[in-house]
């Protein structure tokens, strides 16, 4: 019985870690986002009023937004620039970057 309880606790701990890292590795994301800082600053705050604030944003939202830019699903003045910035990044890269910005307060 004691072993069963320990097994359940271990599985819960592992699943919590997996959920926390669902959208990538924030440390890798910071390393993969050097060009982002020109518009979004190192802390995710916009350098211009019309740029979005990324710090603390939901990681799924950020990931989906970056995918939309890659897939020409977003329009606007900055859409082509964003598409060019994201064109060589993999899904895992985008998840890491999303995880990084979502952890900034």
Binned at pLDDT 50, 70 and 90, residue 2 comes out as low
Q: Is 15 exposed, middle or buried (0-12, 13-18, 19+ CB in 10 A)?
A: exposed
Higher pLDDT, 13 or 23: 23
Provide DSSP, 22-86.
TT--HHHHHHH-GGGHHHHTTTS--SSTTSPP-TT--HHHHHHHHHHHHTT---STTHHHHHHHH
- Assess whether pLDDT exceeds 80 at residue 22: no
More confident residue, 4 or 49: 49
Question: What are the boundaries of each domain within the chain?
Answer: 23-102
- Percent of the chain past pLDDT 90, that is, above it, reads 75
CA–CA gap between residue 33 and residue 76 (Å, rounded): 22
At 95, which helix (H) or strand (E)? helix 91-102
Which CATH architecture group holds 23-102? Orthogonal Bundle (1.10)
Dihedral sign, Cα of residue 88, residue 50, residue 105, residue 58: negative
């Amino acid at each position: 019985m004691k072993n069963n309880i320990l097994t359940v606790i271990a599985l819960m701990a592992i699943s919590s870690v997996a959920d926390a890292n669902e959208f990538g590795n924030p440390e890798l994301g910071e390393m993969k986002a050097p060009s982002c800082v020109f518009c979004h600053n190192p802390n995710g705050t916009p350098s211009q009023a019309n740029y979005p604030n990324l710090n603390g944003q939901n990681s799924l939202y950020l990931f989906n937004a970056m995918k939309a830019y890659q897939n020409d699903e977003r329009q606007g003045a900055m859409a082509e620039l964003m598409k060019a910035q994201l064109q060589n990044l993999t899904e895992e890269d985008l998840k890491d970057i999303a995880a990084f910005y979502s952890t900034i307060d």
